[in-house]
């Protein structure tokens, strides 16, 4: 009911639609404190486009779930405003927001069958009986559980319960669906399967989703955009590719993907190139991203797959070359993970494909490694 009302409003608006689409759901300077002493969320801003899949990613306690709960209406912002389709929803109780939600432990009603669980949101909207039956059947078909309507949630496996929770959050056709670590309780294989499932449903229905997780792989696989949370602040909001390729600070670089870190001081900075003197004495050429001026402390961030061994043929682009000693080689099938000591850092990781033409390394061996200054990002200390 609520949803259809919102839809009519949308149609009436006409030319405003484009604006509403760009800012389908908005957080404006949202702050949240539980105890009046500490801020859990410190000034959160986010615009979600219609049909977008946005992930709030961060370690536990970073405030991402709190943001989701404020959107759902279970927590009140201490400051700031939350808009849905341009309308402030601060005074709207949760049941009038028309937002679908998938909970961490699914929260399927244990005393109702699967079909009754799915019928619940339709019954409270006073839909006719036949319509409810039809919609429930359609939702079950969508998550491929057609024959499970009569079962109790306790009789389903974790993955099946997850699908039912998803179907229940979608069956009343909300335009926004919130998911709070929905795959956290599943094992690895099932989690990957469900990631694709959720992605498929998102593409099929065109529904807007805000997804909370602490699993970076999950975030990278599924999202259109990711907001990386730490300490109540969004560290970077960007597409998965940008986050991985061009992290804006040391936390993001570290949190997303694997990352080699070298610490030092900026000694020269011209345009998009700077020279950094490491604590161990060597000088490295890098691309300044979030480093300060000359004399500022900086952390160099370097993806393991962007480091090469000199002698493999692509060293032409390497304007940084250093001697390294092999400490450990881990065999991972399609590639090898090698731990080296480079410039005083003995946690330096490189990845080499397990293919013809690549030299096999042994612990204790000394090699020359190199990388391009464009791949080496100078970030905040």
Partner 1 sequence: MSESSAIPLTTADGIPLKTSLRRAVRRSRIRAFLLVSPLLLFLVVAFVMPIADMLWRSVDNPEVSTQLSRTAAALEGWDGESLPGEEVFAALAEDLRVGQEARNLGLLSSRLNYEKSGMRSTINRTARGLRTLDPPYKEALIAANTTWGERDTWQILQRETSPWTLSYYLAAVDRQLSPAGDIVKVPAHLEIHVSLFWRTLWMSLVITALTLLLGYPIAFLLASLPLRYSNLLLILVLLPFWTSLLVRTTTWIAILQSQGILNDLMVALGVIADDARWQMIHNKTGTIVAMTHILLPFMILPLYSVMKTISPSYMRAARSLGGRPFLCFRRVYFPLTLPGIAAGGILVFILSIGYYITPALVGGQSGRFITNTIAYHMQTSLNWGLAAAIASILLFVVVVCYLVFNRLIGVDKVKLG
CB of 70 to partner 1, least distance (A): 13
- Our CB check for partner 1 shows the closer of 133 and 327 to be 133
Q: How far apart are CA 278 and CA 268, in angstroms?
A: 13
Cβ-based neighbours of 374, under 8 Å, separated by 6 or more: 287
Asked if residue 113 binds partner 1 (CB under 8 A), the reply is no
Asked if residue 125 binds partner 1 (CB under 8 A), the reply is yes
Name the burial class of residue 113, with classes exposed (0-12), middle (13-18) and buried (19+) by CB atoms within 10 angstroms of its CB.
Answer: middle
Among 22, 124, 141, 294, binds partner 1 (CB under 8 A): 124
CA angle 63, 22, 290 (to 5 degrees): 55
**In the chain, where does DSSP find H-type helix?**
2-13, 17-22, 64-72, 114-123, 129-142, 158-170, 188-205, 216-222, 240-245, 250-255
- Our CB check for partner 1 shows the closer of 113 and 323 to be 113
Hunting for tokens 């990002």 — which residue is that? 377
Q: How far apart are CA 182 and CA 72, in angstroms?
A: 15
Among 14, 93, 128, 293, binds partner 1 (CB under 8 A): 93
58-87: which residues touch partner 1 (CB under 8 A)? 72-74
Binding segment toward partner 1, per CB under 8 A, in 45-53, 103-111, 207-215, 322-330: 103-111
Among 31, 33, 78, 104, binds partner 1 (CB under 8 A): 104
Among 57, 101, 186, 237, binds partner 1 (CB under 8 A): 101
Sign of CA dihedral 100, 104, 109, 112: positive
Q: How far apart are CA 38 and CA 32, in angstroms?
A: 9
Residues 167-206: x/- map of binding to partner 1 (CB under 8 A)?
-xx--x-----x----------------------------
Per the CB < 8 A criterion, the answer to whether 327 and 346 are in contact is yes
Among 94, 158, 184, 292, binds partner 1 (CB under 8 A): 94
CB of 109 to partner 1, least distance (A): 6
Q: Give the HSE-up count for residue 134: Cα atoms under 13 Å, Cβ half-sphere.
A: 5
Binding segment toward partner 1, per CB under 8 A, in 96-104, 240-248, 249-257, 373-381: 96-104
**Interface positions with partner 1 (CB under 8 A):** 2, 72-74, 93-101, 103-105, 107-111, 120-121, 124-125, 168-169, 172, 178
């Amino acid at each position: 009911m609520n949803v259809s009302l919102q839809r009519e409003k949308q149609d009436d608006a006409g030319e405003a639609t484009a604006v509403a689409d760009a800012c389908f759901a908005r957080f404006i300077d949202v702050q949240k404190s539980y105890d009046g002493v500490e801020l859990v969320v410190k000034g959160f801003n986010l615009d979600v486009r219609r049909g977008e899949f946005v992930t709030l990613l961060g370690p536990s306690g970073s405030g991402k779930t709190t943001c989701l709960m404020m959107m759902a209406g279970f927590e009140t912002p201490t400051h700031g405003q939350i808009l849905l389709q341009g309308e402030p929803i601060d005074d709207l109780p949760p049941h009038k927001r028309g937002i679908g939600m998938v909970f961490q432990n699914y929260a399927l009603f244990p005393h109702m069958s699967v079909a009754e669980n799915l019928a619940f949101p339709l019954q409270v909207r006073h839909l006719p009986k036949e319509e409810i039956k039809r919609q429930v059947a359609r939702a079950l078909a969508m998550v491929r559980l057609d024959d499970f309507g009569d079962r109790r949630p306790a009789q389903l496996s974790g993955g099946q319960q997850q699908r039912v929770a998803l179907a229940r959050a979608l069956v009343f056709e909300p335009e926004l669906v919130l998911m709070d670590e929905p795959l956290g309780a599943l094992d690895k294989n099932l989690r990957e399967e469900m990631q694709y499932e959720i992605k498929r449903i998102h593409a099929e229905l065109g529904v807007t989703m805000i997804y909370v997780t602490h699993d970076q792989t999950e975030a990278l696989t599924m999202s259109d955009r990711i907001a990386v949370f730490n300490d109540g602040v969004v560290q970077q909001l960007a597409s998965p590719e940008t986050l991985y390729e061009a992290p804006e600070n040391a936390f993001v670089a570290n949190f997303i993907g694997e990352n080699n870190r070298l610490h030092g001081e900026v000694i020269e900075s011209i345009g998009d190139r700077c020279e950094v003197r490491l604590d161990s004495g060597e000088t490295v050429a890098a691309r300044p991203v979030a480093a300060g001026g000359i004399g500022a402390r900086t952390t160099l961030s370097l993806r393991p797959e962007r480091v090469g061994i000199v002698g493999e043929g692509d060293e032409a682009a390497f304007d940084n070359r250093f001697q390294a000693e092999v400490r450990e080689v881990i065999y991972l099938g399609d590639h090898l993970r090698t731990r080296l000591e480079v410039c005083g850092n003995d946690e330096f990781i490189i990845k080499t494909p397990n293919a013809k033409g690549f030299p096999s390394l042994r612990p204790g061996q000394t090699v020359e490694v190199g990388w391009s200054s464009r791949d080496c990002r100078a970030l905040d200390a």
